[in-house]
Structure 1
Amino acid sequence: MRNAVIAATGLYTPPHSLSNAELVATFNAYVERFNAANAEAIAAGEVEALTPSSEAFIEKASGIKSRYVMDKSGLVDPEVMRPIIPERPNEEISILAEIAVAAAEQAIAAWGKPASRIDAVICAASNMQRAYPAMAIEVQQALGVDGFAYDMNVACSSATFGIKTAADYIATGSARAVLMVNPEITSGHLNFRDRDSHFIFGDVATAVIVEAADEAAPGQGWDVIGTRLKTVFSNNIRNNFGFLNRAAPEGIGAKDKLFVQEGRKVFREVVPMVSEMIVDHAAELGLDPTALKRLWLHQANINMNELIGKRVLGREPAPGENVIILDEFANTSSAGSIIAFHKANDGFAAGETGLICSFGAGYSAGTVFVRKR
């Protein structure tokens, strides 16, 4: 079997940054208007008054200070509170494909080989723009890639599931190189009127090229030394929007048709599941988890990431060991661990190891141990 290498990565960052202060100002304006409009019902106990948000609340709960978004105008308007992204004609490239291509082109440039060397494209993301044709096939066409392409949705774990799948294609000889892209316009499925989650997500796109080790440039990239996937069904993170909602128009726009979660339950259940999975997988590979040089975890929230890092390393992580990009990017679903890896993989000597790990709705989790070549 052929060994796989993460040969290159790419990152597309949207043009607009939205700060906590801007988000809070919009949310609180909405709260004030709602409470005023429903004052009599609130006084009678028929309607529950909404509670304002604050920058301190957001940062304490998540570690997030800002996020990038594809559209800012709708998100700072208390009358709209959703991104305004016009639908495009079929003849024009879809917006999800467009940002995936931008990240892919950056990865291909870093790779230093033509796109024609890629044999497969996987678009792995939490929410696809449409059911079909696959976003991945549109990306494939835009890049001039031969071979095959398809979409994969495992929510926040989509990237690690995609890397595992790509590595398997390499191992079986099905492909020489696989492009895996993670376009995430998460602002489109976030309820900006929900105090507990209005701050969580940001938009971004990432790309990873996984290549056969015997075709990779000497010393370039990272050997994939082990991959593992895990799923456990849970309703604690859910999005019920789908094509069947058309049968019940009154349901469109209801809270459960956007991102919803039971945050405390997720924390209690996912942290031990992921921590144990990492430690067990490391032991199976003959690795000492406490000796990992760097962790590139899914950027869920600061408290989850810090606790998982502490459990895996057996101590408080030193600065830079457990990479955090939440403050700038927020939670970007499947792309978070890849952003962390892309922006903070320097300083490694050949043979040193690190971990790319994701976890999210499903529940789903994926671990990818890598060694610098």
Structure 2
Amino acid sequence: MTSFPSVVISGSGLWTPPYSITNEELVNVLNENADRFNHANADAIERGEVAPMAKSDAAFIEKASGIRERYVYEKDGILDINRMRPNIPARAENEMSQQAEMAVAAARAALDDANRNATDIDAVIVSCAYTQRAYPAIAIEVQEALGIEGFGFDMLVACSAATFALQRAYEMVRSGTARSVLVINPELVTPQLNYADRDSHFIFGDVATAMVVENEDQVAAKQYFRVLDTKAVTKYSNNIRSNFGHLSRAADIDAFAPANLFHQEGRKVFKEVCPMAAEHMSSQLAALDIDNQTVKRWWLHQANINMNILIAKKLLGRTATEEEAPIVLDRFGNTASAGSIIAFTLYHKDFANGDIGVICSFGAGYSIGSLVIECVQG
């Protein structure tokens, strides 16, 4: 009978940009832009031919999302009324890409946390909402920068990119394809936003996270988390979309017109994804004969505080405490796939031997991914 090794998460790392933007700052530029538009189109608006551009305020953003501020890779371009998008200059081909630079920083933090060197890693997975180019893979660039032998590849699964990549890493270690896998989520997502759109301009922030996944027999960390189970599901939906891509050139369209940037049907997403995510985790735990009430912590995707409150209530039958379902989106914004990994990285050191936690993502696709993990004190 085949015996499979136990697979663990032995380290995690987080990199944040040096800049942050508050709701107030975003609202100021959005409202100034709305005033300009409405003034320039006053006659057409009065005739009913053009809809006025809506204004906003910081209180609306916080109530709707729970977000107060977010880290950004570049700030000045976003807040420039004549630009309203990040200003990230292109780099020469012999320079490290911005996304690889972010990834390397998070990876080094994760390696330190796992008490590992780059030479201990066999594979690199870069998994995120976007990569800044098609090829060569960002993962292979990171592999080269860190001096890792083996192989690397990129994955794109929007908000579930991290959990889906962790599942791939789990399978690779369990099958013996690799001893240790570095999973990195360099989420450079602020360029996708339409900063003139009241409903979405505040949503995203930039960040990079990383985790080391390896065979339990070789762990060097003093605290690590045994993966008890992984689960993933997808269901096609148009309710969260980003349409720009290389075929835009062949279609003779403006690749970055508002309709091709990030947009969503927020109410539909809330109504459909919340019960899906709660049922997904509950059924996974039931199959493991684990009672939801015994889970110490739920590291949930960080898109919207109201979604997390509702999902946790469905899981527990009551409102979760801050310790049970920590929120980081108030200061990070929606960081796509990295959100649940940020929550884990910041809130796991208090776990004791045998404590159970769940990492779960949910979002565009739709896609939902989760891992049930158990703390081990080495």
1:105 aligns with 2:105: no
Written as runs of structure 1 = structure 2, the 5 A alignment for 1:121-136 is 121-136=124-139
Match of 1:367 among 359, 367, 370: 370
1-structure distance, mates of 2:27, 2:11: 37
1:142 aligns with 2:145: yes
CA-to-aligned-CA distance 1:191-240 (integer Å, 9 cap, x gap): 11111000000000000000101111375310011100000000000111
Contact 1:290 1:314 in 2 (8 A): no
Contact 1:238 1:256 in 2 (8 A): no
Gaps of 5+ in 2: none
Q: Look up the equivalent residue of 1:339 and give its one-letter code.
A: I
How much has 1:139 moved relative to structure 2? 0.6
1:188 equivalent in structure 2: 191
Deviates more, 1:161-170 or 1:251-260: 251-260
2-structure distance, mates of 1:51, 1:99: 35
2-structure distance, mates of 1:87, 1:53: 32
1:247 aligns with 2:250: yes
1-structure distance, mates of 2:233, 2:251: 34
Deviates more, 1:55-64 or 1:218-227: 218-227
How much has 1:305 moved relative to structure 2? 0.6
2-structure distance, mates of 1:218, 1:43: 66
- Identical aligned pairs, as a percentage? 53
1:158 aligns with 2:138: no
2-structure distance, mates of 1:238, 1:118: 35
How much has 1:251 moved relative to structure 2? 2.5
1:20 equivalent in structure 2: 23
Contact 2:114 2:220 in 1 (8 A): no
Calculate the aligned-residue CA RMSD, in Å. 0.9
CA-to-aligned-CA distance 1:97-125 (integer Å, 9 cap, x gap): 00000000111112212111100000000
CA-to-aligned-CA distance 1:131-175 (integer Å, 9 cap, x gap): 111110001100000111000010000000011110100100011
- For the residue of structure 2 that corresponds to 1:178, the secondary structure is strand
Match of 2:50 among 31, 42, 47: 47
CA-to-aligned-CA distance 1:44-70 (integer Å, 9 cap, x gap): 111000110110110010000000001
CA-to-aligned-CA distance 1:33-52 (integer Å, 9 cap, x gap): 01001111101111000110
Q: Look up the equivalent residue of 1:201 and give its one-letter code.
A: F
1:283 aligns with 2:317: no
2:358 equivalent in structure 1: 355
Gaps of 5+ in 1: none
- For the residue of structure 2 that corresponds to 1:250, the secondary structure is coil
Q: Look up the equivalent residue of 2:52 and give its one-letter code.
A: A
1:34 aligns with 2:37: yes
- For the residue of structure 1 that corresponds to 2:223, the secondary structure is coil
Q: Look up the equivalent residue of 1:212 and give its one-letter code.
A: N
2-structure distance, mates of 1:319, 1:74: 35
Match of 2:182 among 179, 184, 196: 179
- For the residue of structure 1 that corresponds to 2:309, the secondary structure is helix
Q: Look up the equivalent residue of 1:358 and give its one-letter code.
A: S
2-structure distance, mates of 1:234, 1:218: 41
Q: Look up the equivalent residue of 1:28 and give its one-letter code.
A: N
1-structure distance, mates of 2:141, 2:293: 42
1:346 equivalent in structure 2: 349
- For the residue of structure 2 that corresponds to 1:221, the secondary structure is strand
